[in-house]
Structure 1
Amino acid sequence: MRRFAGISTTWRCSTFWGLAPDTEAPMPAPLQQQIQATWRHIEARTGTPFNHDFWRLNQPRRATWSACRAVISAGRIETGADERMVAAIQRAYYLEARNPSDADVLVALAQETGLDPERFRGMLQDPDTERQLQRHLALKDKLGVQGFPALLLQHGDDLLALSAGYDTASGLIPRIRKRIREP
């Protein structure tokens, strides 16, 4: 078990998914195939649906920082809008075959979640949004998070790593209970 003392709780885990820098380069075919296989595995294991048309209808790019900035921007505009943006990005990507690497998709999602699209577009490009993303990335590195999704539990002043990668509630709950009881 790794413990991380003295870590501020002001960061948001939601910006940690994917973590691929900005690029306009198409995603390499082997990576596309790997991600498609992961989607099929998750579907088979959990019953979670995916819209596999994404791979046919879009030019996939391995670029997730724009989606991270979208979550940060939404939260800067309105309390709670960051959580709505996470849900909108996931719905758009996994179910609607829309590419969250595209700024126009993110702006449309912001409008769909009730945010002013032009204010949101400006916030996406705001230097403070980029600084906040870089702080999140630095914290990820400080915590040693390498696999996603990652689940960390703050207990007092300690941050406890619970899982890296998918896990079920039945697998997580006993670990959470055990770790909370540990001195």
Structure 2
Amino acid sequence: MILHYIYDPLCGWCYGAKPLVQAAQAVLPVLAHGGGMMTGTNRQRVSPQLRSYVMPHDRRIAEYSGQPFGEAYFEGLLRDHSAVFDSAPPIAAVLAAEQMAGRGLELLGRLQSAHYVQGRRIADESVLLELANGMGLEPQAFERAFGAADTEGHIKDSRALLAKVGGQGFPTLVLEHNGQFTLIDIGPWLGKPQAFAQWLSQSLPEQHSSNTIAACALEGCAD
């Protein structure tokens, strides 16, 4: 049994689901698929409008999930009008960490905390290299793997998987068992990672959900 995790590094609900994904890793293999929510024409420069749009949404995520959002994010990054939200570089970094050491999900977790707690600019290559180095990944090897990552192809494949399993946005968690895919509604489990892991370990859940409470749309998060 495999848990597929279709995510975006700039998706607030994915950050809300971070403890669930970490707990699931103790139970079964988890494969990460970056969906590219804010890439290409959906890349977005930080602006007062963006801040006003995302803050109520982020506070709702915090309420449902218990995940912390830092003042450095709300009052720092979201007021930094030179910052650009671009999903492609952090997805490339996750691919590099996975290719090098099978530690893509670990780096993703660090990127999410860097963004939402520390207010770091995770689309900046220098920040990505610093975070990877902090994990002990050899800098030059990481830089090579980062540069060689087929991010566009990976995003295309992730979107194809999302369509195949009937997912509506990010995060989508889906169990694969004997070639069959079962969507998981993470809404009831937000803030309850150990209960989620126990539930996963008991049997193959049989449920389908549109994940209406806890999901970002393909082209961006909406309240």
User: TM-score, normalised to structure 2's length?
Assistant: 0.62
Structure 2 runs not aligned, ≥5 long? 1-28, 208-223
Q: Secondary structure at the match of 2:176?
A: strand
| Structure 1: gaps (5+ residues) | 1-9
Identify the residue that residue 178 of structure 2 maps to in structure 1.
Answer: 156
Q: Per residue, is there more strand in 1 or in 2?
A: 2
Contact 1:43 1:50 in 2 (8 A): yes
Q: Does 1:51 align with 2:70?
A: yes
Q: Is the 8 A contact 2:38 2:44 kept in 1?
A: no
Matched, 1:139 2:161: yes
2:133 corresponds in structure 1 to: 111
The alpha-carbon deviation at position 63 of structure 1 amounts to 1.3
Which residue number in structure 2 is paired with residue 39 of structure 1?
Answer: 58
Whether the aligned pair in 1 keeps the contact of 2:68 and 2:117 (CA below 8 Å) is yes
Match of 2:89 among 46, 66, 74: 66
| Residues 91 and 151 in structure 2, CA contact (< 8 A), matched pair in contact too | no
Closer/same/farther in 2, CA of residues 21 and 156 from structure 1, 3 Å limit: same
Structure number with the bigger relative contact order (C-alpha 8 A, sep ≥ 6) is: 2
Distance 1:161 1:31, change over 3 A: farther
CA–CA distance in 2 between the matches of 1:154 and 1:73? 24
Relative distance call for 1:11 and 1:138 in structure 2 (3 A) is farther
Partner Cα separation in structure 2 for residue 158 and residue 32 of structure 1: 40
Q: RMSD between aligned alpha carbons?
A: 3.1
Shift of 1:66: 1.5
Alignment partners' CA distance in 2, 1:127 and 1:50? 30
Shift of 1:14: 4.9
Q: Give the aligned length.
A: 167
Residue type at the aligned position of 1:148: F
Deviation readout 1:35-61 (Å, 9 max, x if unpaired): 221221122333321113224433343
Q: CA deviation at 1:130?
A: 4.4
Q: Summarize the Cα distance change of 1:72–1:133 in structure 2 as closer, same or farther, 3 Å threshold.
A: farther
Provide closer, same or farther for how the CA distance between residues 47 and 132 of structure 1 changes in structure 2, counting only shifts above 3 A.
closer
Matched, 1:30 2:53: no
Residues 157 and 123 from structure 1, CA distance in 2 versus in 1: closer, same or farther, beyond 3 angstroms? same
Contact 1:51/1:95 (CA < 8 Å) preserved in 2? yes
Match of 1:19 among 34, 37, 44: 37
Q: CA deviation at 1:145?
A: 2.7
Identity score, percent? 23
Match of 1:179 in 2: 206
| Cα 1:48/1:129, change in 2 over 3 Å | closer
Query: Structure 1 residues 25 and 54, CA, compared in 2 at 3 Å: closer, same or farther?
Result: same
CA–CA distance in structure 2, aligned partners of residues 76 and 38 of structure 1: 33
